[in-house]
Amino acid sequence: MTTPTMTNEPWRWTIAETAEKLRAKEISAVELTQAHLDRIRAVDGAVHAFLRVTADEALAEAKAADERLARGQDLTPLTGIPLALKDVLVTEGITTTAGSRFLEHFVPPYSATVVKRLRAAGAISLGKLNMDEFAMGSSTENSAYGPTHNPWDLDRVPGGSSGGSAAAVAAGEAMGTLGSDTGGSIRQPAALTNTVGLKTTYGRVSRYGLIAFASSLDQIGPFTRTARDCALLLQHIAGYDPNDSTSADVSVPDYAAQLTGDIKGLKIGIPKEYFVEGTEPGVVKVVEEAIATLKTLGAEFIDISLPHTKYGLPAYYIIAPAEASANLARYDGVKYGLSLRAEAADLEDAYMRTRQAGFGPEVRRRIMLGTYALSSGYYDAYYKRAEQVRTLIRRDFDAAFAQCDVIISPTSPTVAFKLGARVDDPYAMYLSDLFTIPANLAGICGVSFQGGFSEGLPVGVQLLGKPFDEGTILRAADAFQRVTDYHTRWPNLAAAAKPKGATKAKKAGGKK
Amino acid sequence: MTATTKAPAETDYEIVIGLEVHTQLLTQSKMFCPCDAHYADDAPNSHVCMVCMGMPGVLPVINQRAVEYTIMTGLALHCEIPELSKFDRKNYFYPDLPKGYQISQYDLPFCRNGWLEIPVDGSVKRIGITRAHLEEDTGRLLHRTDPATGEAYSLVDLNRAGIPLLEIVSEPDMRSPEEARLYMQKLRSILVYLGVSSGRMEEGSLRCDANISVRPRGQKEFGTKTEIKNMNSFRSVQRALEYEAERQIQVLREGGRIVQETRGWVEAKGVTVSQRTKEEANDYRYFPEPDLPPVVLSRAWIDEIRAKMPELPDAKRARFMSEYGLSEYDATVLTDERAVADYFEATVRDVTKGDLASRAKSAANWITGDLARLLNAAGSDITQCKITPAGLAGLINALDSGTISGKQAKDILERAFASGDQPTEIIQREGIAQVSDAGTLEAVANQVIAANPKAVEDYRKGKAAAVQFLIGQVMRQTKGSAKPDVIQPILVRLLDALKE
């Protein structure tokens, strides 16, 4: 599966090495961007990671980046690097749908803080990426615009909800992408697609301009192929934002500088509650091998307990839908987005018709769940209790981190499953996030990186870190990548790829 | 339903009223976004941004000044200010609510357990304040009918959406519609004093909803209440509650039951009408606002706010009585509005003649008398008055020094009020001065004596009133520019000379 890095295939390069080549003028940002647009044209018909490719804008940005590179001023490691954005991040003048029919024609009048920060760093946006509608799902099958396919097996899901963000990086359609993680929506798809996905500490990255699913859980984070690239992206999106009152005024360290390769004496906790029946043996095996590898690098392992883990999933499925039921109330057909009021009998009828037509079944299910949980007479039994569970889970982690520096586990209990396999079984789908949800409830950071393969499919290893200690989990992942080659392996998309010059990928070049 | 006489109702039944008052806060910007909060009559949707329009992805940021105003109000109302407070979401669908929820406060409001005092039957009555909390105002719907098709539709104006709104909830401590009105007036006075509210009920920046029930006198339990809305003046608060109390008593007397419901006051018809029953009431599904961290209110900040608070109406009234020797009536009238009180004190400072009490008395007389009458007739208030306190003081000084007569003073005040010229300018420019020249006055007095033999005769017979008549005639001849106390000795001297 390993392919040597070829100069005519710059989409195979890492961000770190590309930044060097751009500065050395071995390639221009325009050439680099064009190479990615070509790659998208070749493979995205099969993968469907993109909802919208903004080729013209990308090339214009690339031209500006080249000028910046020529001046040699204000350069960052992201200057000229082609990235792409989950369609839950609003982009001024560029249609942003959140994977929903409701926002099919919604052109935001402003850009998210992270989008502005990436632009300021000189990064290029190739377009908007597919996702489960309003980030609700674990397979990207809940997108109103059709599912994304896992580049490692096109019959399988890429995970979700940031499936497009994961698949684009895995297929070489972008050097890095941004996703959002509410209960595992970055880490689980990263695990299923052989990419690195980082869920940042709650408050580390501004949520301003992230279309909200569950405000107290949502966090934006990067997808890349290496831990080092992840650190480079994190560097430019992290930090306090006066427009987000929940963003933390905590200084941003030099993340790349922390990737020393040295993890001697790093204390890694193994939580017994994350190694239980129900996880595929192939997944357990990969995680055990990763533990062995990290041990050879000098990490120390201790057994720990996170006793309230099993209550995480039910608590999450109260809190997240409750917040979503309010966050999605603005989609009422009055101001923007879909509106069926013209054919409605009265105001209530207009609301009902619009929301029935605009939202898919999973979104409607969660709105109903959340509305029920907050209703008079049920609040104490559901929402309040779930918040109490959340406090217990937070304390579990506080206690664990008194004993160890990071916590290791599988990211997902299974490898990528077949498209359609769990569509009719929401509970089975919800179980995909069993190991990722607690980090969101506790607000801590977590990374999923490439641990190996099971039956030819990628397996992710999750490292959970203390609040605002992204540097340490990335250091461990980077140390692992220095002695393994799983992250350098590529899916074989040769059969799926269209030859150059073939018909344009259907979404390519589309804007608005 | 016809209104019956009030007397029997008041004897058999006790009225119980609690008020929920909303006031917009006078901040520069909106509650959770930087939009200019002064929208007044500006074009619809001209004071809006991503945040107050509820665009996808936006987040609120708390307006600290609004929190400060809320705490200041809480302190003025003797409330407890907790160390930890938070915002909550109140969920309901309506086109004037862009997010589909209102950011409000549920179980941890900024202010709790306070009170204010109102005058009742010559003493004071304390009305409990349950809580005061901060929230955001909604937009406005403009209902229209298409003239061509006759079809009704509504337009949404979001200029008002997101204006900071303070809700002050009283205990059910009021026992008459009059007490409710007095509470409302007192509360308004405090809010305006603090500078946190314009206090304009007619513009809707200050609004009042009432919960009202009646119960047979002596019964402990409250009766079933109704909620009354749409009361846009102090007068309508009292009228609406008088009507509603009467209606409820009538229903009970006829053996009926009160339905818990929301009723709207229809000013033109003088009635309340049912709007919504309890069964139709919303379940607001409150839960903590996850986009805003809890608010920690440091004691140091509370002390800072307390130190910034101006003197409040009750304290000012007491001081006006003790410091200026004003009557309770004058002190009450002058302190009802902070602007009037400030105007009064500025005027007193510039009046030169007499001791403080007499200076204060003359300033009070002019302000509560002639000036109030002019303002009233013009439908304006003291903040719009063109005569400055210094100008009014100048008028009083000219009068006190005998430069002008009382009649001239009133005339000058009216002209100054209308023109915007200060009274002293008018006096100087027109050379208006009282005729106090003895020679001129004597000539006029002689004419008057000659023309009124009957009065002269009466004077001779010892009728003192005759002198007053003759003084009046002299004043008429001099068009008021002569002062009676100057005319009198001259007249008396001339008349007595005739007698001899």
Mean pLDDT by 10 residues, chain B (500 residues): 45 93 98 96 96 98 98 98 98 96 98 96 94 98 92 94 98 97 96 95 94 94 95 95 96 94 95 83 92 97 96 94 94 92 95 91 95 93 92 91 85 92 84 65 84 86 84 80 79 80
- HSE toward the beta carbon, residue B65, CA cutoff 13 A: 18
**Cβ A330–B95 below 8 Å, yes or no?**
no
Q: What is the pLDDT at residue A508?
A: 41
Q: Looking at the partner chain, which of B54, B59, B93 has a beta carbon nearest the beta carbon of A207?
A: B59
Whole-angstrom CA distances from B426 to A396, B349, B351, B415, B433 are 83, 21, 18, 9, 11
Closest-CA residue of B relative to A329 is B100
Q: Looking at the partner chain, which of A331, A334, A383 has a beta carbon nearest the beta carbon of B287?
A: A383
Neighbours of A222 (CB within 10 A): 32
Query: Is B69 found in the same domain as B170?
Result: yes
Q: What is the pLDDT at residue B444?
A: 83
Query: Is B334 found in the same domain as B479?
Result: no
Query: Is B426 found in the same domain as B454?
Result: no
Query: Is B415 found in the same domain as B334?
Result: yes
Quick one: pLDDT band at residue A1, thresholds 50, 70, 90? very low
Q: Which of B430, B455, B478 is the last residue of a domain?
A: B430
Which of the residue ranges A335-349, A405-419, B239-253, B452-466 would you say has the lowest mean pLDDT? B452-466
Would B307 be classed as within a structural domain?
Answer: no
Query: Is B239 found in the same domain as B107?
Result: yes
**Cβ A98–B56 below 8 Å, yes or no?**
yes
pLDDT tens digits along A301-329: 999 999 999 999 999 999 999 999 999 99
Would A207 be classed as within a structural domain?
Answer: yes
Percent over 70 (pLDDT), chain A:
96
**Which residues of A carry out catalysis?**
86, 161, 185
**Cβ A215–B55 below 8 Å, yes or no?**
no
How many domains is chain A built from? 1
A216 touches chain B (CB under 8 A): yes
Would you call A244 exposed, middle or buried from its count of C-beta atoms within 10 A (0-12, 13-18, 19+)? buried
Task: Look at residues A310, A135, A142 and name the one whose alpha carbon lies nearest to residue A217.
Answer: A135
Would you call A277 exposed, middle or buried from its count of C-beta atoms within 10 A (0-12, 13-18, 19+)? exposed
Would B308 be classed as within a structural domain?
Answer: no
Domain span at B75: 13-301
Secondary element (H or E) of residue A222: strand A219-224
Tokens 């934002």 -> residue: A241
A379 touches chain B (CB under 8 A): yes
Quick one: pLDDT band at residue A369, thresholds 50, 70, 90? very high
From chain A, the residues in CB contact with B286 under 8 A are 374, 379
Exposure class string for A130-140: b at 16+ Cβ within 10 A, else e: bbbbbbbbbbb
**Cβ A330–B98 below 8 Å, yes or no?**
yes
In sequence order, the β-bridge partners of residue B261 are B277
Its ipTM equals 0.94
Quick one: pLDDT band at residue A500, thresholds 50, 70, 90? low
Would A5 be classed as within a structural domain?
Answer: no
Q: Looking at the partner chain, which of A96, A243, A329 has a beta carbon nearest the beta carbon of B99?
A: A329
Residues 334-363 of A with CB under 8 A from B: 334-336, 347, 351
- Given a cut of 80, whether residue A7 has pLDDT beyond it is no
Q: Which of A111, A180, A245, A356 to mutate to test the interface with B (most CBs of B within 10 A)?
A: A245
Q: What is the pLDDT at residue B477?
A: 79
Q: What is the pLDDT at residue A224?
A: 98
| Phi and psi at residue A370, to the nearest 5° | -70, -40
Would you call B307 exposed, middle or buried from its count of C-beta atoms within 10 A (0-12, 13-18, 19+)? exposed
Query: Is B292 found in the same domain as B218?
Result: yes
- How many Å apart are CA A137 and CA A160, to the nearest integer? 6
Q: Which of B31, B49, B58, B67 to mutate to test the interface with A (most CBs of A within 10 A)?
A: B58
Which of the residue ranges A13-27, A427-441, A457-471, B55-69 would you say has the lowest mean pLDDT? A427-441
- Given a cut of 60, whether residue A408 has pLDDT beyond it is yes
Q: Which of B377, B400, B430 is the last residue of a domain?
A: B430
Query: Is B376 found in the same domain as B472?
Result: no
Residues 142-171 of A with CB under 8 A from B: none
3-state SS string over chain B? CCCCCHHHHHHHEEEEEEEEEEEECCCCECCCCCCECCCCCCCCCCCCCCCCCCCCCCCCCCCHHHHHHHHHHHHHCCCECCCEECCEEEECCCCCCCCCEEEECCCCCCEEEEEEEEEECCEEEEEEEEEEEEEECCCEEEEEECCCCCCEEEEEECCCCCCEEEEEEECCCECCHHHHHHHHHHHHHHHHHHCCCCCCCCCCCEEEEEEEEEEECCCCCCCCCEEEEEECCHHHHHHHHHHHHHHHHHHHHCCCCCCCEEEEEECCCCEEEEEEEHHHCCCCCCEECCCCCCEECCHHHHHHHHHHCCCCHHHHHHHHHHHHCCCHHHHHHHHCCHHHHHHHHHHHHHCCCCCHHHHHHHHHHHHHHHHHHHHHHHCCCHHHCCCCHHHHHHHHHHHHCCCCCHHHHHHHHHHHHHHCCCHHHHHHHHCCCCCCCHHHHHHHHHHHHHHCHHHHHHHHCCCCHHHHHHHHHHHHHCCCCCCHHHHHHHHHHHHHHHHC
Q: Which of A94, A107, A208 to mutate to test the interface with B (most CBs of B within 10 A)?
A: A208
Closest-CA residue of A relative to B99 is A330
Query: Is B445 found in the same domain as B338?
Result: no
CATH at residue B469: 1.10.10.410
Average pLDDT (A367-389) is 96
Q: Looking at the partner chain, which of A98, A208, A216 has a beta carbon nearest the beta carbon of B290?
A: A216
Q: What is the pLDDT at residue A134?
A: 98
Residues 167-186 of A with CB under 8 A from B: none
Q: Which of B32, B153, B291 to mutate to test the interface with A (most CBs of A within 10 A)?
A: B291
The residues of B whose Cβ lies within 8 A of any Cβ of A are: 50, 53-62, 89, 91, 93, 95, 98-101, 156, 283, 285-287, 290-293
**Cβ A208–B62 below 8 Å, yes or no?**
no
Query: Is B289 found in the same domain as B222?
Result: yes
Query: Is B168 found in the same domain as B131?
Result: yes
How many domains is chain B built from? 3
Average pLDDT (A272-297) is 95
Select the more confidently predicted residue: B105 or A499. B105
Select the more confidently predicted residue: B384 or A300. A300
**Cβ B101–A329 below 8 Å, yes or no?**
yes
Would A368 be classed as within a structural domain?
Answer: no
- How many Å apart are CA B374 and CA B380, to the nearest integer? 9
From chain A, the residues in CB contact with B93 under 8 A are 329, 332, 351
Would B195 be classed as within a structural domain?
Answer: yes
pTM of the model: 0.88
Domain span at A232: 10-258+266-307+391-489
Task: Look at residues A396, A390, A392, A400 and name the one whose alpha carbon lies nearest to residue A270.
Answer: A400
Query: Is B461 found in the same domain as B426?
Result: no
Average pLDDT (A77-94) is 98
Quick one: pLDDT band at residue A378, thresholds 50, 70, 90? very high
Q: What is the pLDDT at residue B279?
A: 66
Would A234 be classed as within a structural domain?
Answer: yes
Q: What is the pLDDT at residue A505?
A: 44
Would B423 be classed as within a structural domain?
Answer: yes
Would B470 be classed as within a structural domain?
Answer: yes
Would B127 be classed as within a structural domain?
Answer: yes
pLDDT tens digits along A431-447: 889 999 999 999 999 99
Residues 223-242 of A with CB under 8 A from B: 242
Would B247 be classed as within a structural domain?
Answer: yes
- Given a cut of 60, whether residue A197 has pLDDT beyond it is yes
Would B372 be classed as within a structural domain?
Answer: yes
Query: Is B296 found in the same domain as B337?
Result: no
Q: What is the pLDDT at residue B432?
A: 67
Q: Looking at the partner chain, which of A245, A332, A335 has a beta carbon nearest the beta carbon of B291?
A: A245
Q: Which of B255, B271, B301 is the last residue of a domain?
A: B301
Helix segments in A331-456, DSSP class H: 347-358, 361-374, 385-401, 426-430, 437-442
Quick one: pLDDT band at residue A65, thresholds 50, 70, 90? very high
CATH at residue A240: 3.90.1300.10
3-state SS string over A240-295? CCCCCCCCCCCCCCCCHHHCCCCCCCCEEEEEHHHCCCCCCHHHHHHHHHHHHHHH
Q: What is the pLDDT at residue B436?
A: 59
- Given a cut of 80, whether residue A512 has pLDDT beyond it is no
Q: What is the pLDDT at residue B434?
A: 60
Q: How far away is chain A from the Cα of B162, in angstroms, using its nearest Cα?
A: 15
Would A326 be classed as within a structural domain?
Answer: no
Average pLDDT, chain A: 95
Would A324 be classed as within a structural domain?
Answer: no
Would A375 be classed as within a structural domain?
Answer: no
pLDDT tens digits along B214-254: 999 999 999 999 999 999 999 999 999 999 999 999 999 99
**Cβ B59–A325 below 8 Å, yes or no?**
no
Select the more confidently predicted residue: A123 or A278. A123
CB A130 within 8 A of CB A145: yes
pLDDT tens digits along B346-355: 999 999 888 9
Task: Write the DSSP symbol of residue A384.
Answer: I
- Given a cut of 70, whether residue A6 has pLDDT beyond it is no
From chain A, the residues in CB contact with B285 under 8 A are 325-326, 371, 374-376, 379
